[in-house]
């Protein structure tokens, strides 16, 4: 089968399309004919050996797929022919065939294409975890999201209202990305240059209830300043590269929180949580209350370019590699 593989830790440019044997199944594994695979920022880190989990070389890039079940255990909740989305764990996604644990495979609603489906699990369930679990989003609250034209950002814009937010403010770096944010459901859009003052003006000086930050870097302190009393700043990642620090007296004086939101770690340490999430998110997707992602598609031959688009921050929305 064809697959996008990393054999040396030299960044996205080291991703190569190669012919390798199809993966062997295992007890409890579901064999999937892959139509599309999602790309996420951890994939960038893994191509350099910088992610907290490090697969052995060589490894197939990616951790989420959409496709059609070829073979499933007799007691699984999916069967041959089902359209599914799945998490493959530690790579193994950007290949024509993948095997995923049955508990991480879910039927895809009929109204969502396989290409869009490949962009759902990693980003949408991260956002669901952030807003529902770690952010304790209450009905009508205001959510601000940094990097709003990226994968996590657009997921937040698509999902926040369905999960209860009354207002969703997008922070983006360019007018072009502002259009992406608006298309994905932002209530308001502000540019990174002067964003804090703009947000204060939009909220009448009150500030926002939740900041969802996958970017990090030098805007972190201003994110704390943007919070209303009892606001929550959710630390999701550091695509800017710099891991910021916080002076905790700011938290004390404003009665605000800085909260870590590592979805992957939570899923791995809380059995059954993934299924609980899907049980809430799937009906919202099926009913159209949450719009499906509109991914940027790359063919497998351009897998390196797809991963690099997240590295150089030119990506808008969810990036997906197509295999069929």
Helix, coil or strand: residue 6:
strand
CA distance 84 to 107: 4
Q: Residues 246, 289: one domain?
A: no
Give a yes or no: residue 178 inside a domain. Answer: yes
Domain span at residue 100?
A: 2-121+270-322
* Percentage, residues of the chain above pLDDT 90: 87
Give a yes or no: residue 282 inside a domain. Answer: yes
Give a yes or no: residue 169 inside a domain. Answer: yes
What's the pLDDT tens digit per position in 105-116? 999 999 999 999
pLDDT, position 41:
87
Q: Residues 255, 276: one domain?
A: no
Categorize the per-residue pLDDT at 127 as very low, low, confident or very high, splitting at 50, 70 and 90: very high
The last residue of a domain, from among 260, 293, 313:
260
Categorize the per-residue pLDDT at 285 as very low, low, confident or very high, splitting at 50, 70 and 90: very high
Q: Residues 218, 240: one domain?
A: yes
**Average pLDDT across the chain, whole number:** 95
pLDDT, position 219:
87
Q: Residues 113, 168: one domain?
A: no
Pick from 233, 211, 231: which is nearest to 156 by CA?
211
pLDDT, position 240:
65
Q: Residues 180, 211: one domain?
A: yes
Q: Residues 276, 309: one domain?
A: yes
Alpha helices in the chain (DSSP H): 41-46, 114-117, 121-128, 151-159, 175-183, 195-202, 220-225, 248-254, 263-269, 273-287, 303-311
Q: Residues 141, 247: one domain?
A: yes
Indicate whether 249 pLDDT > 90: no
CATH number at residue 249: 3.40.50.720
The last residue of a domain, from among 227, 260, 293:
260
- Of 204-213, 265-274, 311-320, which gets the smallest average pLDDT? 311-320
Q: Residues 141, 252: one domain?
A: yes
Give a yes or no: residue 265 inside a domain. Answer: no
Q: Residues 174, 94: one domain?
A: no
Q: Residues 114, 12: one domain?
A: yes
Give a yes or no: residue 296 inside a domain. Answer: yes
Pick from 266, 214, 224: which is nearest to 245 by CA?
224
State the Cα torsion 271-273-274-278 to the nearest 10°: 150
What's the pLDDT tens digit per position in 186-243? 999 999 999 999 999 999 999 999 999 998 888 899 999 999 999 999 999 877 667 8
Whose tokens are 């259009």? That residue is: 179
The last residue of a domain, from among 260, 291, 313:
260
Give a yes or no: residue 127 inside a domain. Answer: no
Give a yes or no: residue 128 inside a domain. Answer: no
Give a yes or no: residue 126 inside a domain. Answer: no
Q: Residues 29, 96: one domain?
A: yes
Q: Residues 199, 149: one domain?
A: yes
Q: How many domains does the chain have?
A: 2
pTM metric for this prediction:
0.93
């Amino acid at each position: 089968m064809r697959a996008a593989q990393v054999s040396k830790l030299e960044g996205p440019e080291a991703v190569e399309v190669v012919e390798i044997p199809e993966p062997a199944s295992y007890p409890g594994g579901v064999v999937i004919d892959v139509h599309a695979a999602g790309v996420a920022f951890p994939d960038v880190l893994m191509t350099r050996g910088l992610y907290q989990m490090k697969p052995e070389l060589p490894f197939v890039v990616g951790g989420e797929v959409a496709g059609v079940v070829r073979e499933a255990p007799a007691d699984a909740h999916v069967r041959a022919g089902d359209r599914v989305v799945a998490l493959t764990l530690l790579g193994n996604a950007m290949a024509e065939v993948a095997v995923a644990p049955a508990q991480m495979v879910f039927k895809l609603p009929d109204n969502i294409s396989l290409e869009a489906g490949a962009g759902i699990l990693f980003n949408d369930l991260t956002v669901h975890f952030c807003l529902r679990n770690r952010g304790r989003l209450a009905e009508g609250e205001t959510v601000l999201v940094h990097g709003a034209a990226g994968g996590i950002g657009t997921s937040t814009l698509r999902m926040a209202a369905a999960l209860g937010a009354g207002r969703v403010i997008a922070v983006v770096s360019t007018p072009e990305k502002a259009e992406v944010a608006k298309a994905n459901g932002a209530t308001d859009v502000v540019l990174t240059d002067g964003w804090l003052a703009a947000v204060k003006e939009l909220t009448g000086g009150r500030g926002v209830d939740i900041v969802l930050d996958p970017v990090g870097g030098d805007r972190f302190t201003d994110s704390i300043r943007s919070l209303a009393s009892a606001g929550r700043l959710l630390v999701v990642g550091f695509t800017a590269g710099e891991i910021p620090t916080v002076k905790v007296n700011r938290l004390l004086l404003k009665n605000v929180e800085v909260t870590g939101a590592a979805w992957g770690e939570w899923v791995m340490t809380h059995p059954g949580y993934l299924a609980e999430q899907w049980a809430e998110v799937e009906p919202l997707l099926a009913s159209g209350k949450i719009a499906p992602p509109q991914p940027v598609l790359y063919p497998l031959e351009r897998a390196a370019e797809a991963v690099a688009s997240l590295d150089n921050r030119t990506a808008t929305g969810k990036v997906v590699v197509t295999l069929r």
